Amino acid sequence: MALDYPFGFDARGRSAATNAADHVRDLVEQVLFTAPGERVNRPSFGSGLLGLVFEPGGDALAAATQLSIQAALQQWLGEIIQVDDVAVAAEEGTLSIEVRYTVRRSQERRVASFARGGAA
């Protein structure tokens, strides 16, 4: 068991925990939505994804965003997951991301979907 993300408390008032599969998904979410410079002791951690919500769209931006997400996931979670595919869509201030990955330990294939608005 691992601490759940975002941090919270369970019904007994203890730190909420999660299973291994959900913990890996939580790690992916942290890499995606942490801005570089946000963590003091790891200034390069994150993907800078939220800064792109209001950028002008287009195929070039989508391709660059997909590559930067894939690179960040490989850098920070490469020992835990194999990134199979990343899909990004930005519409009306909402960013939607789908990450397909394989958990290295179990060889289980998973899909994680996330959406964030510009105010998130």
Q: For the chain, how many structural domains are there in total?
A: 1
CA–CA gap between residue 53 and residue 41 (Å, rounded): 26
Report yes or no on 103 lying in a domain. Answer: yes
- How far is Cα 33 from Cα 21, in angstroms, rounded to an integer? 19
Q: Which residue has the higher pLDDT, 103 or 94?
A: 103
Domain that holds residue 109: 21-117
CATH of the domain at 62: 3.10.450.40
Per-residue pLDDT at 16: 81
pLDDT digits (tens, 9 = 90+) for 19-44: 888 889 999 999 998 888 888 899 98
**pLDDT for the residue 119:** 47
Q: At 17, phi and psi to the nearest 5?
A: -115, 165
Specify the pLDDT at position 120: 41
Distance CA 2, CA 36 (A): 24
Specify the range with the lowest mean pLDDT, choosing from 1-5, 75-79, 105-109.
1-5
Q: Is residue 13 part of a domain?
A: no
66-99 per-position pLDDT tens digit: 888 999 999 999 999 999 999 988 777 677 889 9
Strands of the chain, DSSP E: 2-3, 17-18, 81-91, 94-103, 109-117
Residue 113 is assigned to a structural domain of this protein: yes
Give the Cα separation of 99 and 101 in Å (integer): 6
